[in-house]
């Protein structure tokens, strides 16, 4: 009966160990997320909030603050998740420690009884008599095997007690570490929540000043979106012209919606596609301030912001780098907006917008990470790179292509 109880205890510990291992893997994933949000906050502070001398517009301040609040909330959530998971891990460890202590108690009792029994019959004479009293050689051999097995079992029980004791010590050490980690996370989250409260008050203060003249601010946002839409249409026109030209050269119908690719261009396109999710950032340091797709304006939720790419806040005069090898298909320089570089990679095109300088011209071959220009910095001190990826004439989400965007 006692052996059966021990077996059940061991089985429960094994199952518990699997659960702890799964929790540890989840803890690693949560820690990676937490570090990511912390890094993003540090970059936000450095890129958007470090230069207090520059007078940003209220709209820019609200946009920056909204982004910061969003990231800080993500950080608080993931830290809470970590603390809660640590609580479950601590409870699991405490349960396993309790179970191991029960096992040790049972093992030590069994071992003690076995040692007493062994001591009472340990003399060589009693062992010899036990063997000599056998009825035949076969029985004597079995008795000899029994004596050996009993001695081996004694050693196994002793080793098992040592292993369980060591495991208990390790779990106690883990428990102390886990409690320390949890205390640290709770303390960090307390500070983060205080920072969030301050930012929310500042946000409300800014929004109160905006509400006094909401129609004017909303009008400015719409005007900015109209300018962006105009640039998007120009980019799409240039891409469609390039597609038509490639098909004319290949003798295909000019109505084709995709590029006619040469064998070399097909290889480049295949290589580009195989790097999805692994492409480098087009700037050394940056945070995505406006994401791909249609989203509500943080100033006026009734105003929609459409983005065919991403807008990356970066440092002043940041160097812009090509994310993949290719050929410069177009450099758009027009009076109404800052220069744009378009680089073709087979039937893919990467677009770099809002530049102050450009170092390439149409027809130039570029390599991955080659510096092709600099980001424009406006009078408010904002440096914002617009970045798009197109497959033929269809825009793609850059966050799916750029590493950890």
**CATH, residue 370:** 2.70.70.10
Residues 159 and 238 in one domain: no
Last residue of a domain, one of 189, 211, 233: 211
Confidence of residue 336 (pLDDT cuts 50, 70, 90): confident
Containing domain of residue 226, as a range? 218-400
Average pLDDT on 171-176 reads 79
Question: What is the average pLDDT value for the chain, to the nearest integer?
Answer: 85
| CA separation for the pair 71, 48 (Å, rounded) | 14
126/242: higher pLDDT: 242
Which of the residue ranges 152-161, 224-233, 375-384 would you say has the lowest mean pLDDT?
Answer: 152-161
Residues 229 and 312 in one domain: yes
Q: How far is CA 151 from CA 117, 122, 155, in A?
A: 12, 11, 6
pLDDT at 358: 97
Last residue of a domain, one of 167, 186, 211: 211
| CA separation for the pair 148, 214 (Å, rounded) | 92
Structural domain includes residue 356: yes
Structural domain includes residue 234: yes
Average pLDDT on 357-366 reads 97
Confidence of residue 349 (pLDDT cuts 50, 70, 90): very high
Residues 206 and 285 in one domain: no
Average pLDDT on 3-16 reads 53
Structural domain includes residue 269: yes
| CA separation for the pair 349, 367 (Å, rounded) | 14
Residues 228 and 155 in one domain: no
Structural domain includes residue 300: yes
Q: pLDDT at residue 120 above 60? A: no
Residues 151 and 274 in one domain: no
Query: Are 269 and 375 in contact, with CB atoms under 8 Å apart?
Result: no
40/164: higher pLDDT: 40
Residues 206 and 222 in one domain: no
Last residue of a domain, one of 196, 211, 226: 211
Give Dmax (Cα) for the chain.
114
Phi and psi based region of residue 396 (left: phi greater than 0; alpha: psi -120 to 50; beta: remaining): beta
pLDDT at 320: 98
**Closest of 235, 229, 273 to residue 351, by C-alpha:** 235
Structural domain includes residue 405: no
261/153: higher pLDDT: 261
Residues 226 and 255 in one domain: yes
Structural domain includes residue 60: yes
Residues 188 and 63 in one domain: yes
- List, in sequence order, every residue forming a beta bridge with 342; answer none if it has no partner: 330, 351
DSSP 400: G
Report which secondary-structure segment, H or E, holds 49: none
Residues 205 and 353 in one domain: no
Query: Would you call 295 helix, strand, or coil by DSSP?
Result: strand
Residues 229 and 202 in one domain: no
Q: How far is CA 334 from CA 337, 385, 390, in A?
A: 6, 17, 21
Structural domain includes residue 292: yes
Residues 172 and 43 in one domain: yes
| CA separation for the pair 118, 114 (Å, rounded) | 6
Residues 175 and 67 in one domain: yes
Structural domain includes residue 388: yes
Domains contained in the chain, number: 2
């Amino acid at each position: 009966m006692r052996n059966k109880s021990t077996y059940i205890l061991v089985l429960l510990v094994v199952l518990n160990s699997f659960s702890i291992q799964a929790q540890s893997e989840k803890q690693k994933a949560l820690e990676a997320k937490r570090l990511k949000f912390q890094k993003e906050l540090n970059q936000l502070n450095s890129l958007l909030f470090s230069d207090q001398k520059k007078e940003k517009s209220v709209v820019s301040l609200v946009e920056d603050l909204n982004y910061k609040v969003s990231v800080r909330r993500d950080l608080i959530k993931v830290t809470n998740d970590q603390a809660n998971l640590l609580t479950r891990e601590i409870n699991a460890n405490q349960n396993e420690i309790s179970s191991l202590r029960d096992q040790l108690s049972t093992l030590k009792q069994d071992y003690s009884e076995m040692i007493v029994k062994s001591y009472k019959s340990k003399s060589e004479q009693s062992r010899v008599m036990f063997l000599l009293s056998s009825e035949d050689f076969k029985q004597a051999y079995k008795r000899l095997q029994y004596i050996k097995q009993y001695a081996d079992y004694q050693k196994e029980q002793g080793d098992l007690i040592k292993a369980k004791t060591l495991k208990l010590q390790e779990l106690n050490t883990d428990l102390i570490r886990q409690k320390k980690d949890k205390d640290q996370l709770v303390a960090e989250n307390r500070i983060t929540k205080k920072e969030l409260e301050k930012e929310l008050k500042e946000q409300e203060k800014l929004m109160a000043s905006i509400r006094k003249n909401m129609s004017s601010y909303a009008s400015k946002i719409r005007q900015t979106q109209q300018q962006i839409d105009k640039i998007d249409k120009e980019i799409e026109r240039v891409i469609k012209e390039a597609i038509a030209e490639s098909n004319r050269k290949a003798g295909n119908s000019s109505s084709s919606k995709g590029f006619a690719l040469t064998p070399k261009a097909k290889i480049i396109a295949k290589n580009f596609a195989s790097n999805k999710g692994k492409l480098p950032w087009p700037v050394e340091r940056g945070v995505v301030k406006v994401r791909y797709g249609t989203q509500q304006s943080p100033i006026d939720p009734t105003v929609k912001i459409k983005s065919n790419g991403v807008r990356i806040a970066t440092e002043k005069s940041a160097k812009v780098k090509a994310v993949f090898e290719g050929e410069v298909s177009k450099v758009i320089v027009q009076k109404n907006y800052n220069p744009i570089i378009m680089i073709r990679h087979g039937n893919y095109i990467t677009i770099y917008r809002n530049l102050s300088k450009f170092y390439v011209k149409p027809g130039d071959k570029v390599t991955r990470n080659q510096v092709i220009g600099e980001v424009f910095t406006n009078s408010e001190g904002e440096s914002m790179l617009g970045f798009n990826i197109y497959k033929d004439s269809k825009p793609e989400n850059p966050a799916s292509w750029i590493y950890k965007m």
